[in-house]
Structure 1
Amino acid sequence: MLHHPPQPPPSDFLKRAHTYSIVAYDSVSGDLGIAVQSKFPNVGGLVPWARAGVGAVATQALSNTDYGEKGLELLARGATAPEAMRIIMRSDPQPSQRQVGMVDAHGNAASWTGDSTFDWAGGRTGGGQVGGKGQMITGHGYAAQANIMVSDATVRNMAETFERARGSLADRLIAALVAGQAGGGDRRGMQSAALLVVRAKGGYLGGTDRYIDIRVYDAPDPIKELQRLYALHKLYFFTSDSADLIPITPALQKELEAILLTEPANQPQKWLAAPQPSLNQTFLTALANFMYWENYDVRVRMDSKIDRVALEDIRKNRRNVRR
């Protein structure tokens, strides 16, 4: 029996990004990025902000986009992450309801958790600083923060895993996200996730700074889906590693010709009209056209070699069709 009537939720409750995130800087590559998961749809459209050579921001709880837009502008003008965060907080009418992580292009990091955010809420920064509600903490390299968590294990796991993980910044951010969920994650469950990494001219053919920009709008397991999409992103947008280039042997040429002579399946004209006696220009051009058609643009070659990663995907896709 209820002794007290249930209390209505705050009027802004549905606007809150109940979230755990990590923002980080890679001193080797210069990459800046954010990984985030939430029981909130399209968290990638709200929480992560980043600019190559400037900084990265996660603004959550009752999210205030000023921390993203104005925060990056302040960082671009020379403010450190803690300085930029404090400047914006001074004009924020509701800092107690915000949670923000920020890192600049020199690795200075800051995390703020307002004292009106929902339990469990807090953060950690590189260097071992731990903060709860009503605290700003500073550090170096990264800031991890969360609200409405099962316990502090989510943030602790993210921080410890990020520090131990190897590989690119994106690899380490995703590893941290996986570890955060293993620590309990959002008390209400999972719904969306995002990964944003910026690098100067790191986007498609150098046209943008958005090296990686992946958003899972809504999924039963958004982190698993984020991992799947990240694997696809690497396949279609990362250029070949020299270690993955293999020679097209006579046997491999015959295997590829079987595809080039019969595809595209829905087109009367195929990539090759007849088998070729060698790795001549006709064969290499047909192979390149086929790979462009299949979206392996950044892995196309004309030097009698083929990218092993693309080749494995070509084989896998045709095995799936034959089943």
Structure 2
Amino acid sequence: MTFSIVARVGDAYGVAVASKFLAVGAVVPGARSGVGAVATQSFARVAYIDELLERLKAGDDAEAAIAATTAADEGRDERQLGLVGPSSAATYTGANCLPWCGGVARDSGTAAYAIQGNILTGPDVVAEMERAWLASEGEPFARRLLAALGAGDAAGGDARGRQSAALYAVQPGAGYDSSGVLVDLRVDDHADPVREVGRLLGEWEMVFGHAEDVLPLEGDLADEVRGRLARLGHPNDDVAAALADWAGIVNYESRLSPEGIDGRVLEALRAATPN
């Protein structure tokens, strides 16, 4: 009833998951900076999240951690897991998981992933997720997770349909107030939850991201930005001050730069003030 990717790139760990199940993000994903990430699904045992992460923290590799925790679980034949640690990755599908079910796991050293699903339309769901993950090398970590999830959804995903999706990732120093949360998004009940997570990721990047592709506020661009901000109720000869006022209202403060205007903020400003 669920498909997911658990992954690591450098010191970032994360999970992307979708299911024909209400609020899958409340059940399946878990991650801890410096330790690992896990997805527990198919009659999910939520306690696996802490148990598996603690075993990784204690030094077990992913396969050993899964073997030890499932051995003590009478319901192991119905469970499915993906687990990635600092130097290992593993996927587990119980003998009684509902078809199509299965997964794949790889660790290349600098990156690792475990992709798995159950009640899928077929094995191409997992295969397409793996293909998309590998093809997105070099892109931002959260975007790679989303690309894999989207590929699985496009390939058929959960055979019963769509309902919820989630994206959760951690990285030291990332996120709001350097909390270590790179991204934390849930769509609990939606006709197209993977697409909606993608839309929300774009909003997350605007609010919690940092300045990029900065353009100097000079000449014609400064005049354009000053005019557009005035139309939004922020008239000020000091264009940087006007920009800061507007950014504070729309929560783009983290993208402000003393060097000029962030490229995505400029796009948002233009969208808010169509010609």
State the match for 2:272 in structure 1.
317
Write the letter of the residue equivalent to 2:185.
I
Count of residue pairs brought into register by the alignment: 272
Q: List per-residue Cα deviations over 1:228-269 (Å, max 9, x = no partner).
A: 11111112211112xx111112322222323444544xxxxx
The 3-state SS of whatever aligns with 1:119 is coil
Residues 1:294 and 2:274 are matched in the alignment = no
1:46 matched to which residue of 2? 27
Which residue of structure 2 lines up, in the alignment, with residue 156 of structure 1? 127
CA offset at residue 290 of structure 1? 1.9
Shift of 1:46: 0.7
**Could you say which residue in structure 1 is the equivalent of 2:43?**
62
Partner secondary structure for residue 40 of structure 1? coil
1:285 and 1:302 in contact (8 A); partners too? no
Question: Does structure 1 retain, via aligned residues, the 8 Å contact 2:228–2:270?
Answer: no
Match of 1:84 in 2: 65
Unaligned runs of 5+ in 2: none
Give 1:133's aligned residue. none
Larger Rg over CA atoms: 1
Counterpart among 178, 188, 191 of residue 163 in structure 2: 191
In 2: Cα distance, 1:72 partner to 1:218 partner: 28
Give the match's secondary structure for 2:18.
Answer: strand
- Please state whether the residue corresponding to 1:22 is helix, strand or coil: strand
Q: 1:53-84: per-residue Cα shift (whole Å, max 9, x none)?
A: 11000000000012111211221222211122
Q: How does the TM-score come out when normalised to structure 1? A: 0.79
Contact 2:214 2:263 in 1 (8 A): yes
> How far off is 1:165 after superposition?
2.1
Aligned with 2:100 (options 100, 120, 128): 120
Which consecutive segments of 4 or more residues in structure 1 shift more than 6 A?
Answer: none
Conservation of the 8 A alpha-carbon contact between 2:214 and 2:257: no
1:22-81 deviations in whole A, cap 9, x for unaligned?
Answer: 111113xx2111111100011111100001111000000000012111211221222211
User: Could you tell me how far apart the structure 1 residues matched to 2:164 and 2:186 are?
Assistant: 8
Letter of the 1:162 counterpart: W
Given the alignment, which residue of 216, 221, 225 partners 1:256? 225
Shift of 1:127: 6.6
* Partner in structure 2 of residue 74 of structure 1: 55
**Equivalent residue number for residue 192 of structure 2:** 221
- Determine the structure 1 residue equivalent to 2:261: 306
Which residue number in structure 2 is paired with residue 33 of structure 1? 14
The answer to whether the 8 Å contact 1:126/1:159 transfers is: no
1:245 to 207, 214, 237: 214
Could you say if the C-alpha distance between residues 61 and 249 of structure 1 is closer, same or farther in structure 2, counting changes exceeding 3 Å?
A: same
**1:98 shift after superposition:** 0.6
Task: Name 2:177's counterpart in structure 1.
Answer: 205
Q: Give secondary structure in 1 for the equivalent of 2:266.
A: helix
Q: Deviations over 1:188-240 (max 9, x none)?
A: 0111111111101212131x121011111111111111111111111221111
Per the alignment, do residues 259 and 66 of structure 1 end up closer, same or farther by CA in structure 2, a change over 3 Å counting?
A: same
CA RMSD between the two structures:
1.9
Aligned counterparts of 2:239 and 2:211: Cα–Cα separation in 1: 21
Q: Distance in 1 between matches of 2:128 and 2:168?
A: 20
Q: In the aligned structure 2, how far is the partner of 1:90 from the partner of 1:185?
A: 29
Q: Relative to 1, partners in 2 of residues 1:161 and 1:249: Cα closer, same or farther, differing over 3 Å?
A: same
For residues 259 and 179 of structure 1, the distance between their equivalents in structure 2, rounded to whole angstroms, comes to 38
- The structure with higher relative contact order (CA 8 Å, sep 6+) is 2
